[in-house]
Amino acid sequence: MAAETLTKRWGMVIDQDRCIGCWTCAVGCKEINNEPLGFWWNRILTAAPGETTGESSAAVADPASDSIDVPHGTFPEVDLAYLPVACQHCEDAPCVKVCPVGATFRRDDGTVLVDYERCIGCRYCIAACPYGIRVFNWGDAKQPVDFTVGYGRDYRTADGRLVFTPDRPRGVVEKCTFCVERIDSGEQPFCVEVCPVGARVFGDLNDPESEVAQLVDDGGATQLLPDLGTDPRVFYLPVQRERNV
Amino acid sequence: MATRVETPGLRPVAFGRTGRIWLSLLGILVLWGLGAWIYQLTQGLVATGMRDVVSWGLYIFSFAFFVGLSAGGLIMASGAEVFGVKSLRPLASVGVLTAAACVLVAAMTIIPDLGKAQRLYEIFRYPNWSSPLVWDIVIIIVYFAFAVTDLAVMHRRRMAAPRRRRTLRVLAYVGLPAAVLLHSITAWIFGLQISRPWWNTALLAPLFVTSAILSGTALIALVALVANRFDRLELPRETWTALAGLMATAIAVDLFLVGSDYVTILWGNVPRERAALDIVLPGGSWQWLFWVEWVVGGLVPFVLLVTPRFRIRPALLALSSVLVMVGVYAFRIELVVGGMVKPLLHLPPGNAVGTYRLGQTSFQFDGIYHPTWVEYGIVTGLTAFLALLITVGYRWLRSVERAGAGA
């Protein structure tokens, strides 16, 4: 028991029944991570009916509209659900497999990170990611304001790899880090902290007592595009689901 | 030794005015490409039309295309040695030369695509062996070294003829699997990706091998025709018919494989697969690719190449070769763009673009890609450099061969 809890295995649960599509987590993410203009590590997708969790990638058809917040169906039978998508921190991550230099790597705690100092900018990981969550520094980063907001300084892992910097180098790929600098010091990822409706739960999946592990174990939790076998560490609680209450 | 080269009549045909104009033109285009690359280095990849949704573009199409062009050489060399097609033997050395040049230029094409080209050495320092890109770099290096060795053996003056024959035979047997691997691994860069249903087919490696044979043979035919016109390179009639026959067969097999893929997707009607196919089929936003691949680069050259009356006419053979290469290039575009325009999670607002312009959304629902002058410039420069390498290399080969013949 003690040995099991030594290694953390971070995971997140997103309750789609609570999500109101307000984009606070996406904007909070941009702010804390100093994301330049045009970058979104975290997006809130308007989901298609019956496709609120993306249970099978085979079922992903064109949605009714290419605009957000458009309900599906005909009034009064309309249906609307939101699907917040950032890095899924897959157990078997395609991006980790394709990176030619190991700049994208998976830490023992399950966090998939990008080393800003090793990335050669080939963008193979962008091609390999099924979730479309990676963004590339095409040119010089433009910040919305000229003073420091958010985390605002470099962060290195224990073995010295630069996994966050507010001064984005041109020509490297970046993505959601599960707010590595925050979770390493015992805080919650910022999207979890700012969500006004408590739709996000973060914690250690290895700890059976944790809320996140219990929500996953309770059943009804699904992963995004599970038929691809990537085994994400982000779980979704669909709007309509079996509840063990 | 020296007197041999000076023997009248054995000297290469004077390069003349046409040759000088050709070389200067290529030189200017190479400089233009170099200039475009320097401009891109100052701006970053924002100077290209690529963004986060369609994140690979002209450089990757051209990389895959140049790799494919290199196939011709090995076919000429191994076709003669391994399969005993004697009529291809006169083209063996020109073939291997083009193979070396094409694979070198293909490797160079990756460099402008990198966001941090100055970190390229990291691939050798921290290679991640699960990445098909690392396998590809290894096979490219092996293949280039192989082609250069083959060329050296063909032209080493000190080597006795029987020993040279034996060595070339062994090299041909090694070269053939190496070539098949080169094209298969290049296909697997795409074909192994579960995130792109359009790429994720086991047919991709056979398709790359076939289209490589097709475009590689077309390039050799074109080089031979130019040499025939400007350098009095005389080839037996069987050689020309063999080239035409090989191309016609490769077109048929290539379109058969592509067609099988279409039928599988259409019949299955799985939305994520149909999404990609529908953009290239007639009526889709990239439908011109379909027409170029099936008609301009498929049906038209096929008819020209199988009709006995047409295939012996040099102008028509040249036209067929060019059309075939255009068709294969269209296939490369179709593959890369088709795989990227519609992301797997195709829900509004779409993916982030990665750049910002005031008043414009920073999301793309369907991927958009229009190459910029920078990309056209760099790829034109690289193509001109390839032509330059082949021209200069061919001149060198001929001078060595004629000197040898005078002995």
| CB contact residues (below 8 A), chain A span 158-217, against chain B | 169-173
Structure tokens at A222: 């699904």
Domain that includes residue A170, residue range: 2-237
Residue B34 clears pLDDT 70, i.e. is over it: yes
Q: What is the pLDDT of residue A73?
A: 74
Residue A114 host element (H or E): strand A112-114
Which of B130, B133, B363 shows the shortest C-beta gap to A122? Answer: B133
Q: B7 pLDDT band (50/70/90 cuts)?
A: very low
Contact across the interface for A103 and B122, Cβ inside 8 Å: yes
Task: Determine how β-strand A234-237 pairs with β-strand A10-15.
Answer: parallel
Which CATH number do you get for residue A184? 3.30.70.20
Distance from CA of A204 to the nearest CA of B (A): 27
Q: What is the pLDDT of residue A49?
A: 53
Chain B residues lying within 8 Å of A122, measured CB to CB: 110, 113-115, 133
A245, part of any domain: no
Chain B residues lying within 8 Å of A40, measured CB to CB: 352, 362-363
Q: B12 pLDDT band (50/70/90 cuts)?
A: low
Q: What is the pLDDT of residue A79?
A: 78
A172, part of any domain: yes
**pLDDT (tens digit per residue) in B82-116:** 888 888 888 988 999 999 999 999 999 999 999 99
**pLDDT (tens digit per residue) in A47-99:** 865 554 555 444 445 677 889 998 877 788 777 889 999 999 999 999 999 99
The DSSP code for A43 is: E
Q: What is the pLDDT of residue A80?
A: 82
Helix pair B161-191, B58-69: axis angle to 10 deg: 150
Contact across the interface for B354 and A138, Cβ inside 8 Å: yes
Is B248:B305 a contact under the CB 8 Å cutoff? yes
Q: Is B127 within 8 Å of chain A by CB? A: yes
Q: What is the pLDDT of residue A244?
A: 54
Q: Is B365 within 8 Å of chain A by CB? A: yes
The residue-averaged pLDDT of B182-206 equals 96
- Top residue of A138, A159, A173 to mutate, by most chain B CBs within 10 Å, is A138
A242, part of any domain: no
Chain B residues lying within 8 Å of A83, measured CB to CB: 345, 347
Q: Is A20 within 8 Å of chain B by CB? A: no
With tokens 């009709």, the residue in question is: B307
| CB contact residues (below 8 A), chain B span 179-198, against chain A | 189-190, 193-196
Distance from CA of B102 to the nearest CA of A (A): 21
Contact across the interface for A120 and B55, Cβ inside 8 Å: no
Q: What phi, psi does B270 have (nearest 5°)? A: -75, 125
- Top residue of A35, A51, A120 to mutate, by most chain B CBs within 10 Å, is A120
Q: How many domains does chain A have?
A: 1
Q: Is B52 within 8 Å of chain A by CB? A: yes
Q: What is the pLDDT of residue A7?
A: 87
Q: Is A48 within 8 Å of chain B by CB? A: yes
Q: What is the pLDDT of residue A148?
A: 86
What's the gap between Cα B146 and its chain centre?
18
If you measure CA to CA, which chain A residue comes closest to B59?
A122
A244, part of any domain: no
Give the range among B3-7, B22-26, B153-157, B222-226 with minimum mean pLDDT. Answer: B3-7
Q: What is the pLDDT of residue A58?
A: 41
Sign of CA dihedral A127, A133, A134, A140: positive
Contact across the interface for A40 and B113, Cβ inside 8 Å: no
Indicate the burial class of B281 (C-beta count within 10 angstroms; 0-12, 13-18, 19 or more): middle
Distance from CA of B251 to the nearest CA of A (A): 29
- Top residue of A122, A134, A143 to mutate, by most chain B CBs within 10 Å, is A122
Chain B residues lying within 8 Å of A45, measured CB to CB: 345, 347-349
Q: Hey, how many other C-beta atoms are within 10 angstroms of the C-beta on B232?
A: 9
Structure tokens at A125: 């990981």
The residue-averaged pLDDT of B55-67 equals 97
Structure tokens at A168: 């984005």
What's the gap between Cα A218 and its chain centre?
22
The residue-averaged pLDDT of B34-41 equals 98
Q: What is the pLDDT of residue B89?
A: 87
Chain A residues lying within 8 Å of B343, measured CB to CB: 132
Please report, as a single letter, which amino acid is at residue A120.
I
Those residues whose C-beta lies under 8 Å from the C-beta of residue A11, and which sit 6 or more positions away, are A89, A110, A202, A203, A204, A205, A212, A213, A216, A233, A234, A235
Q: What is the pLDDT of residue B1?
A: 38
Is A198:A212 a contact under the CB 8 Å cutoff? no
| CB contact residues (below 8 A), chain A span 132-151, against chain B | 132, 134-140, 142
Q: Which residues lie across from B337 on neighbouring strands?
A: none
Q: What phi, psi does B281 have (nearest 5°)? A: -75, 160
Q: What is the pLDDT of residue A59?
A: 44
**Residue that wins the pLDDT comparison between B4 and A54:** A54
Give the range among A212-216, B115-119, B164-168, B254-258 with minimum mean pLDDT. Answer: B164-168
Q: Please tell me whether residue A36 adopts helix, strand or coil conformation.
A: coil
pLDDT along chain A (245 residues), means of 10: 67 93 97 96 82 47 79 79 94 98 96 98 97 96 91 96 96 98 96 98 96 91 90 89 56
- As a CATH number, domain B49-371 is 1.20.1630.10
Q: What is the pLDDT of residue A48?
A: 63
Structure tokens at B139: 């096979």
Q: What is the pLDDT of residue A51?
A: 53
**Residue that wins the pLDDT comparison between A200 and B164:** A200
Q: What is the pLDDT of residue B218?
A: 96
Q: Which of A57, A47, A39, A38 has the alpha carbon at shortest distance from A17?
A: A47
With tokens 């100077």, the residue in question is: B47
- Calpha distance B224→B213 (Å, rounded): 16
Q: Which residues lie across from A105 on neighbouring strands?
A: A113
Q: What is the pLDDT of residue A78?
A: 78
List the Cα angle A42/B193/B282 in 5-degree steps.
95
Q: What phi, psi does B279 have (nearest 5°)? A: -75, -20
Q: Which of B389, B394, B42, B103 has the alpha carbon at shortest distance from B381?
A: B389
Distance from CA of B41 to the nearest CA of A (A): 10
Q: Is B157 within 8 Å of chain A by CB? A: no
Contact across the interface for A132 and B193, Cβ inside 8 Å: no
**pLDDT (tens digit per residue) in B279-319:** 999 999 999 999 999 999 999 999 999 999 988 899 999 99
**pLDDT, chain B, mean:** 92
Q: B231 pLDDT band (50/70/90 cuts)?
A: confident
